[in-house]
Amino acid sequence: MDDRYSRQILFSPIGKEGQIKLKHKHVLIIGAGALGTSIAEILTRSGVENITIVDRDYVEWSNLQRQQLYTEADAKKRIPKVIAAKERLEAINSKAKIKAKIVDVTPIEMIQLVKGIDLIMDATDNFDIRMMINDASQKYNIPWIYGAVVGSYGISYTIIPNKSPCLHCLMKQLPISGLTCDTGGIISPIVQLITAHQTVEALKILTDNWEALRNKLISFNIWTNQQSSIDVKTLKDRNCLSCGQTPTFPFLNYENQTKTAVLCGRNTVQIRPASTEKRDLQKIASQLENMGKVEQNRFLLSFTIKPYRFVMFQDGRVLVHGTNDVIRAKSLYYRYFG
C-alpha cells in the first residue's frame, strides 16, 4: 500500500481494506466552483483515483477568493474550470484518473454521467440540476450528498435511495429552495466547513461504513455562531414522485428543464441552443471580428461589444454577460449568433 496514505490507513474505520475500496470507487462531482474544487481535492488526496468533474463555466477573477484549485493564470486565460481542476488534481496525485466534462447538465447528460458511478457529490449552484441529481440517484440507486453555501451559511444532507427522504421530499417541508449563490456574497470558511462534512460522509460511503453516516440534515452560520442538526427521516413521503411507491422521476424529463438560466450573482444569462452539435469557433470568430473584440482559446470564444460580453462554448451554449434580462439576452444572442 502506498506510503502516502499511511496516516489514513492507521485510522481503523478505513484501514487497508477501506483504502483499497477508495482506490476503485468512482465519484461524480457536479460543479467545479467553491464546493466542487474543495471536494475534489480532499477526495483526490484521500486516494479516490476515479473522479468525474462536470461544470459549464470558466475561471474568472471573482472565483479566486474561494475556489481553491485555480490561479490567476487560469482567470486571465478564461480556462474552463474542469480543465484547470484536472491539471491541478493530477499534479496532486499522479495516479488519479480525472475525467473533465465541459457541459451544462440536462437530463440527457445526467443519465449518461451516472453510469458506473458509486457516489454523486453535489457542488452545483442551482436547483434545476440538484433535482436532476436527486431523480437520477433514486432511479439508479446511487447515493448522493447535497451541499449548499451562501454568505456565511451552509447546509448538507446525505441521501441514500430506498432509505432516507430524498430532496424532493424535503423541498415540500423545509425552506431550502433559496439556497443558491447570489448578490449576498460568500466567505470562504463556510465552504471549507460544508465540504468537510460532505467529504467525511463520502469517505464513510466509499469505504462501506454505512453505520457511521450522520442521517441528519445539518446547517451552520459561522458568522453568527449558529448551527443545527435536524432528524428528517419522518419527512419521507410515500407519494413522492421521485422516491415514493410509484416514482415517475419528473426532473429527468427534458420538458421540465429551462433552456435559459440567469446565473446567480453575475448579471449573466446562459442560453442553451436546441441542438448541441460541435460549433466551429474559428469560423464564428472570423464573422464577429469586425464587430467587437474577439478572443479565443481551444475551448471557447469570447466576444465583447460594450456593454456586453458573450462567451460561446463548443456545444453552442452562450453566456451573455451584462444583463439578467432573459428576453434581452435572447435578442442579443439571435443578433450575433443566429
Which residue, among 109, 126, 68, 132, has the nearest Cα to 268 in the 3D structure? 126
Q: Active-site residue among 181, 240, 243, 264?
A: 181
Residue with cell 472570423: 286
Phi, psi angles (nearest 5°) of residue 28: -105, 120
Q: What are phi and psi of 53, to 5 degrees?
A: -115, 130
Across the beta sheet with 119-122, the strand order is 97-102, 50-55, 26-30, 119-122, 144-150, 153-159, 217-221, 226-230
Helix ranges (DSSP H) in the chain: 6-9, 15-24, 34-46, 72-77, 81-92, 107-113, 127-140, 167-171, 188-206, 281-288, 326-337
Cα–Cα–Cα angle for 131, 132, 135, rounded to 5 degrees = 85
Asked if 264 is an active-site residue, the reply is no
Active site members: 181
